Amino acid sequence: MNEEYKYDPEDLESLLLHKQFHELYPEEKAFVLKHMDSPEEYESMRQTLFELRNAASQGDWLQSDASIKKALLAEFASEKKGSFRVWLNALFARPQVSWYRQPALQLAFVVLVITTGVWLLVSNNSQQPSIAELNDNTPKEAISTASTQDTLEIQDHVFAENKMPHEFPIAPEPIQSVSVPQITAVEDEQHLLPPEEIAPQKAMAKEDNVHLIDTAPIVTAPPKAAAPATRNADKVLEEVSVEKLYKNETKTSINSKPISEVKDLLRFLYTAQ
């Protein structure tokens, strides 16, 4: 079958160009008559189409001016070879390309991703130290308790007379309180309390069915003139701890110094005295 018989049904122009009305297939006639009133109109339009094509082909065709060519060739010669240019249309308006493939959008997306990445990296770096940082929340006020004065006096005195090793600096952190991990039963400490306070404490302990646990800091003992130099440091420590506990003076702070270190210090102090 000839190519001219394979028409796109929408293409009335092709039908008009290639076929008279009586040459049309029944389905083509039906299609043509949807758009035209009669076969006569079809033939008339066909005639008009030929007239138009003739008019176009035989119409006046002007010759372009020779001066245009001359000017353009001069422009071509003046154009620098290989000059680098960036055409904005190439970045923003490429008609054959989907919107998401426009170079400008792609560039903007890359810049966004890089900026976000850098920002996240920087913000993570600034937060990391704070995660691992020791939270030095030791209350300063707790350090300056009533016993601070005494402790400092002892330390100053002792440190001045004995040259301390470098582990004990000249102005060490005042050790005023330590955590005592051991459980001290109330019954074991009764001898340290005045007799009038023993009974209520006992009653409370029994009533609660618990042992009192000393988690409160122990304030180092103030220097007592009467205390012999050979006094056992452990004993002093226990005395001070329990005494402070029952006088409700030791609920101020918790120190992270290990008890062994505190004991060593106290031993050293008493030995020095």
Partner 1 sequence: MKRKAHPYERLSDEELMQHIRERDRMAFEVLYDRYSRLMYNYFFRMLWRDKERARDFTQDLFSKVIHHAGQYDATRSFKTWIYSVAHNMCKNEYAKHEVRQRAAVELKNEESMQQAESGKAMDRKLFNEKLKEALDEMDEVKRTTFELRFYQELSIPEISEIMQCSEGTVKSRLFYLLKDLHKKLKMFEGIAVWMAVIMVSIEILMEKLG
Residues at the contact surface with partner 1, assessed by CB under 8 A = 8, 10-13, 16, 35, 44-45, 48-49, 51-53, 55-56, 58-59, 61-65, 68-69, 71-73, 75-77, 79, 81-82, 85, 87, 89-90, 95-96
- The amino acid present at 137, given as its one-letter code, is N
When the beta carbons of 56 and 226 are compared against partner 1, the nearer one is 56
CB within 8 Å of 9: residues ≥ 6 apart: 28, 31
Integer angstrom CA distances of residue 236 from 28, 138, 217: 120, 25, 14
CB atoms within 10 A of CB 184: 16
Min. distance of Cβ 11 from partner 1 in angstroms?
5
Measured distance CA(206)–CA(203) in Å, rounded: 5
Min. distance of Cβ 86 from partner 1 in angstroms?
10
Which backbone phi and psi does 97 adopt, to 5 degrees? -115, 140
DSSP reduced 3-state for 206: helix
When the beta carbons of 45 and 142 are compared against partner 1, the nearer one is 45
Min. distance of Cβ 48 from partner 1 in angstroms?
4
Min. distance of Cβ 25 from partner 1 in angstroms?
19
When the beta carbons of 97 and 122 are compared against partner 1, the nearer one is 97
Min. distance of Cβ 95 from partner 1 in angstroms?
7
When the beta carbons of 18 and 231 are compared against partner 1, the nearer one is 18
Measured distance CA(205)–CA(184) in Å, rounded: 12
DSSP 8-class letter at 4: G
When the beta carbons of 34 and 224 are compared against partner 1, the nearer one is 34
